[in-house]
Amino acid sequence: MKIKPLFERVVLESIKEENKSSTIILPDANLEKSQIAIVKEIGTGGNIDGEKIVFQVDIGDKVIYNKFSGHEISIDGKTYIIISQNDILGIIKEK
Amino acid sequence: MKIKPLFERVVLESIKEENKSSTIILPDANLEKSQIAIVKEIGTGGNIDGEKIVFQVDIGDKVIYNKFSGHEISIDGKTYIIISQNDILGIIKEK
Amino acid sequence: MKIKPLFERVVLESIKEENKSSTIILPDANLEKSQIAIVKEIGTGGNIDGEKIVFQVDIGDKVIYNKFSGHEISIDGKTYIIISQNDILGIIKEK
Amino acid sequence: MKIKPLFERVVLESIKEENKSSTIILPDANLEKSQIAIVKEIGTGGNIDGEKIVFQVDIGDKVIYNKFSGHEISIDGKTYIIISQNDILGIIKEK
Amino acid sequence: MKIKPLFERVVLESIKEENKSSTIILPDANLEKSQIAIVKEIGTGGNIDGEKIVFQVDIGDKVIYNKFSGHEISIDGKTYIIISQNDILGIIKEK
Amino acid sequence: MKIKPLFERVVLESIKEENKSSTIILPDANLEKSQIAIVKEIGTGGNIDGEKIVFQVDIGDKVIYNKFSGHEISIDGKTYIIISQNDILGIIKEK
Amino acid sequence: MKIKPLFERVVLESIKEENKSSTIILPDANLEKSQIAIVKEIGTGGNIDGEKIVFQVDIGDKVIYNKFSGHEISIDGKTYIIISQNDILGIIKEK
């Protein structure tokens, strides 16, 4: 079973960062606002306000997103987030 | 008796997920925000803000939607939701 | 005496649904939000934001509307609602 | 002395409906929201957001308007309302 | 010393209406919202949102304006208001 | 050290008006809203919403601005304000 | 490990200003609103609302930004801010 998000949305799978050599810590003030996840599914695309949706993230990308946006659901014991691409802040790239 | 929704709206029929082999659980924080339903009717379409409405869902699709949007009504003992397509988060596809 | 609504508005006449064979019940949570009415008059049309107004409802249509929108008035003992077409959720069609 | 309203505004003169054979009653919930008035003056027109203003009301029309919009002023003992045409709900026509 | 307002703004000089033969009274509910003033200076014009600013008031016009908009300043003992033309409700014309 | 503001912003240097022959007094109600300053730097320009930014103020102009907008910073003991040109109400010109 | 921000966002590295010969002090009222940082990464660009994103800041620029915007994260003991370019107030240039 999988979810195909509509329009500009993507599906993220929440992860807990465990990389020992390099750590990302979300500080107190924004602790609950930013989170890290893996892109699992890209939306159907199409147009919003007459402008074609362009995806800048790909399946497998590790991203930081604004936690207060999006909808969490749980399928088969894993937590997923359906979120607008615009609420993804950036892509985390290993050097 | 049936309802034909106007413009970009669709009619959903609320369902209770009972698939044993795979479960979707809506976690606490968003328990009342997301729900699963079947698309029963597509809107009349037309234009909004000069842009033609394109439906990305079809009658029979199983979808996740934002419960806080839409209007619930009950006809002949069943619960329906009239909702803007934009408040449908994604389509659930069986693998 | 009658009312010709301006632009995209329509005039509705509120009805109490009394069809025995099929019932529409508005559930508790949205009891005061959705209501059923008959379209009595179509607006003058024209343009809004440079886009021509297109009416998707006709005089005589039975519709569900968002009660919190619109203005109620009473003429000769009947209750009418002046409402934007966009606050009409859908048209009720007998099968 | 008279007032020429700017752009899409019109000047209304508030009236008390006294027609015996047909009455318009504004019900409790919206008692203070809708009122009846006569159009006394049409605005200067021009453009708003690049779109030419078109007046759908004329001097002498009896209209229903949204009382919470507009500005009331009193000249020579009469009450006038300067209001955007868009806050006029409809024109009352005698059959 | 004078003030040249930017873009669509104008400078008004607040007046106290003292015409005996005809009086404008601002009623209780809107007593602090509407006021009468003389246009003292027209803005620099230019474009807003890609649309050329057109002034519909002239220096010397007596106008009614929405008091809650605009900024009051006092120069050489007189009170001036810098206000967007759009917050001027209408021009007062002597018959 | 100086600051080059981005897009439509400008840098103002706050001044205390000390001209004896002519005084500008900001009245009570708006005492903290309007202030006088000298334009010290013009923004980088470019486009906002597809429209080219045009500056109507110049370095050296004495302006009135909306104090509640903008960001104050202090460099080498002087107070500067980075503010959108649109929050500058007008230019003060000596007769 | 680094972060590539999406669309019009940039990554800033927060700094503490220690230049002895010239100091920037953020005054009380806005103490927590404005901060100084170095641009570490430019966004992916693309279009927003049909308009191409143009970056006016470069990697290495020292900038003042609106602290209440943006998301702070901490990587390897350093504090970074992912922020829309539009929330950068200006570029600090050494004379």
Instruction: Name the band, by pLDDT with cuts 50, 70 and 90, for residue G73.
Output: confident
Residues of chain D neighbouring C79 (CB-CB closer than 8 A): 27
Mean pLDDT of all residues in C5-11: 97
Instruction: Name the band, by pLDDT with cuts 50, 70 and 90, for residue F14.
Output: confident
Q: How far apart are CA B67 and CA B88, in angstroms?
A: 9
Cβ contacts of G51 within 8 Å, gap of 6 or more = F47, F49, F50
Q: How far apart are CA D45 and CA D47, in angstroms?
A: 7
Asked if B76 and C26 come within 8 Å (Cβ–Cβ), the reply is: no
Residues of chain A neighbouring B47 (CB-CB closer than 8 A): none
Tokens read off for D61? 């029309």
Domains of chain E in start order, with CATH, are 9-17+31-92 (2.30.33.40)
Residue D30 has pLDDT above 70, yes or no: no
Of C1, C47, C71, the CB nearest to D89: C71
Residue C77 has pLDDT above 60, yes or no: yes
Instruction: Give the distance between the most distant pair of CA atoms in chain C.
Output: 45
Cβ contacts of B68 within 8 Å, gap of 6 or more = B32, B33
Q: How far apart are CA A66 and CA A85, in angstroms?
A: 10
Contact D39, D17 (CB under 8 A): no
* DSSP per-residue codes, chain G: -EEEE-TTEEEEEE-----SSS-EE--GGGTTTEEEEEEEEE----EETTEE------TT-EEEEETTSSEEEEETTEEEEEEEGGGEEEEEE--
B64-88 pLDDT, tens digit per residue, is: 998 788 998 888 788 899 999 999 9
Residues of chain D neighbouring E61 (CB-CB closer than 8 A): none
Tokens read off for D19? 């027609």
F17-55 pLDDT, tens digit per residue, is: 544 445 555 554 443 456 899 999 999 999 998 899 999
Q: How far apart are CA C70 and CA C78, in angstroms?
A: 16
Instruction: Kindly state the DSSP code that residue E70 receives in the 8-state scheme.
Output: S
pLDDT at residue D67 in the model: 79
Contact F79, F70 (CB under 8 A): no
Provide the mean pLDDT of chain A: 84
Chains touching chain C at 3 or more Cβ pairs under 8 angstroms? B, D
Provide the mean pLDDT of chain F: 84
Residues of chain D neighbouring C49 (CB-CB closer than 8 A): 49, 51
Tokens read off for F85? 């040109």
Q: How far apart are CA B50 and CA G34, in angstroms?
A: 40
Asked if A93 and G1 come within 8 Å (Cβ–Cβ), the reply is: yes
C15-51 pLDDT, tens digit per residue, is: 865 444 455 555 544 434 568 999 999 999 999 988 9
Mean pLDDT of all residues in G42-68: 94
Residue with tokens 């206000």: E83
pLDDT at residue B30 in the model: 43
Residue with tokens 């240039």: G93
pLDDT at residue C75 in the model: 80
* DSSP per-residue codes, B2-59: EEEE-TTEEEEEE-----SSS-EE--GGGTTTEEEEEEEEE----EETTEE------T
- The F-side interface with E (CB below 8 A) comprises 19, 22-27, 29-30, 33-34, 49-51, 54, 56-57, 64, 66, 85-86, 88-95
Q: How far apart are CA E93 and CA B82, in angstroms?
A: 52
* CA–centroid distance for G40 within its chain: 8
How large is the ipTM?
0.83
Cβ contacts of B87 within 8 Å, gap of 6 or more = B65, B66, B69, B70
Residue D22 has pLDDT above 80, yes or no: no
Tokens read off for F41? 């730097």
Q: How far apart are CA B75 and CA C64, in angstroms?
A: 12
Q: How far apart are CA C86 and CA C65, in angstroms?
A: 9
Residue C12 has pLDDT above 90, yes or no: yes
Contact E5, E81 (CB under 8 A): no
Q: C-alpha angle B78/B84/B87, rounded to 5°?
A: 95
pLDDT at residue B4 in the model: 96
Residues of chain C neighbouring D33 (CB-CB closer than 8 A): 71
Strands C24-25 and C2-5: unpaired
* DSSP per-residue codes, A16-50: ----SSS-EE--GGGTTTEEEEEEEEE----EETT
E14-54 pLDDT, tens digit per residue, is: 886 544 445 555 554 443 456 899 999 999 999 998 899 99
* DSSP per-residue codes, F9-72: EEEEEE-----SSS-EE--GGGTTTEEEEEEEEE----EETTEE------TT-EEEEETTSSEE
Tokens read off for E37? 């003033």
Provide the mean pLDDT of chain C: 84
Residue with tokens 């927003």: G48
For an interface test with F, the pick among E40, E68, E72, E78 (most F C-beta atoms closer than 10 Å) comes out as E72
pLDDT at residue A76 in the model: 78
Residue with tokens 């001209």: F19
Residue F64's closest CA among E88, E55, E40, E73?
E73
Q: How far apart are CA D9 and CA D82, in angstroms?
A: 7
Q: How far apart are CA F22 and CA F42, in angstroms?
A: 28
Provide the mean pLDDT of chain D: 84
Q: How far apart are CA B39 and CA B60, in angstroms?
A: 5
B28-to-A73, B32, B92, E36, F26 alpha-carbon distances in Å: 10, 8, 21, 57, 53
Residue E52's closest CA among E6, E8, E5?
E8
Residue D80's closest CA among E74, F50, F34, E30?
E30
Residue B43's closest CA among B80, B8, B83, B90?
B8
Asked if E91 and D4 come within 8 Å (Cβ–Cβ), the reply is: yes
Mean pLDDT of all residues in B25-38: 62
Residues of chain G neighbouring F86 (CB-CB closer than 8 A): none
Q: How far apart are CA E87 and CA E68, in angstroms?
A: 9
Q: How far apart are CA C72 and CA C32, in angstroms?
A: 14
Residue E68 has pLDDT above 60, yes or no: yes
- Please tell me which residue of chain G has the smallest CA distance to A57: G6
Instruction: Tell me the sheet residues that pair with D79.
Output: D74
Instruction: Tell me the sheet residues that pair with B14.
Output: B37
pLDDT at residue D94 in the model: 78
Asked if B73 and C30 come within 8 Å (Cβ–Cβ), the reply is: yes
Mean pLDDT of all residues in G15-39: 60
Instruction: Quote the percentage of chain A above a pLDDT of 90.
Output: 56
Residues of chain A neighbouring B54 (CB-CB closer than 8 A): 46-47
- Please tell me which residue of chain B has the smallest CA distance to A42: B90
Of C5, C44, C71, the CB nearest to D34: C71
Mean pLDDT of all residues in E68-91: 91
Chains touching chain B at 3 or more Cβ pairs under 8 angstroms? A, C
Residue A23 has pLDDT above 80, yes or no: no
Of F29, F56, F94, the CB nearest to E44: F56
Q: How far apart are CA G52 and CA G88, in angstroms?
A: 18
Query: Comparing D32 with E85, which gets the higher pLDDT?
Result: E85
Of D1, D7, D72, the CB nearest to E56: D7
E60-to-B53, D41, E75, E78 alpha-carbon distances in Å: 50, 22, 18, 16
Residue G52 has pLDDT above 70, yes or no: yes
Asked if A27 and G76 come within 8 Å (Cβ–Cβ), the reply is: no
Instruction: Name the band, by pLDDT with cuts 50, 70 and 90, for residue A58.
Output: very high
pLDDT at residue B16 in the model: 66
